Amino acid sequence: MALLALSVSAAAIQIKKKDHTMETPARSADSVLSEADTLFRQNDLTAAFTAYEEAYTLARAEFNRSVEVEALSQLARVELRRGNKDAGRQWLAKAGERADEVDPMGWSRYLGVKGRFEWQDNTLTAARATFEQMYEYCVANALWSRAVDAAHMVAIVAEPFEDQVRWGRRGIEMAEKAEAESWLGPLWNNLAGSYFDHGDYDSALACYQRAREYHWRFSGETGKLFADYHVGMTLR
């Protein structure tokens, strides 16, 4: 019994030594950027900002200019979302200094945030030009989800009404082809809003109903609530 106990004890010690010597894998700039994007989509802006800062720091240490530009751009976007435009502009300026058209991921991300600042500044002609540039660039580089985002944003800032519809439907068609179904709720919702503002309530209702289908599949409770509200609002 004593020998058995000693054997078990020795095994336990060995396991402890192995556990003690195990090293935690180093976090890469790419992996932290992905984590930050997830937090941003969840609207956890404080945690997302911290994660983007970490991604930026790691990217500089790794000489990963692409992730550096993406992280800087998203730091600007978080500040814009939080209502801190001036702070956001400083991050965006840094991103612009590092962004390069030969880098598809960094350049497309930078354009998406640059256009959103122009949109929020109500410089809609400039915003449309930026988002159209982003769309063409993303299509050329097979960045389909980002091309959908660009089409969605063109539809938001475009005038006249016919352009809103054309770009909205272009985004929907591309999202369906790219199997980017999580985009279809916002896309149908935005198209519905264009029809509603134009006084075409039958088309608006049809689009809001399509939007509701996708929001109930992919959105959180708030998204579902707004989807139901828009259908009810149009039926009144």
Q: What is the pLDDT of residue 166?
A: 98
**Predicted local confidence at residue 26, as pLDDT:** 80
- Residue 163 pLDDT exceeds 50: yes
pLDDT value of residue 220: 83
**Mean pLDDT throughout 54-58?**
98
The 3-state secondary structure of 35-73, one letter per residue:
HHHHHHHCCCHHHHHHHHHHHHHHHHHHCCHHHHHHHHH
pLDDT digits (tens, 9 = 90+) for 172-189: 999 999 989 999 999 999
Query: How do the domains of the chain map onto residue ranges?
Result: 30-114
Q: How much is the average pLDDT of 138-144?
A: 97
Q: What's the 3-state SS for 121-158?
A: CCCHHHHHHHHHHHHHHHHHCCCHHHHHHHHHHHHHHC
Average pLDDT of span 50-70: 98
- Would the pTM count as exceeding 0.95? no
- Residue 115 contacts residue 153 (beta carbons within 8 Å): yes
Please write the tens of the pLDDT for every residue from 7-53.
Answer: 444 444 344 444 544 555 689 999 999 999 999 999 999 999 999 99
Q: What is the pLDDT of residue 236?
A: 82
Look at the block and give the residue holding tokens 């956890």: 44
Q: Which fold has domain 30-114?
A: 1.25.40
Contact 188, 210 (CB under 8 A): yes
Q: What is the mean pLDDT of residues 78-100?
A: 98
Average pLDDT over residues 113-121: 99
Other CB atoms within a 10 A radius of the CB of residue 185 amount to: 24
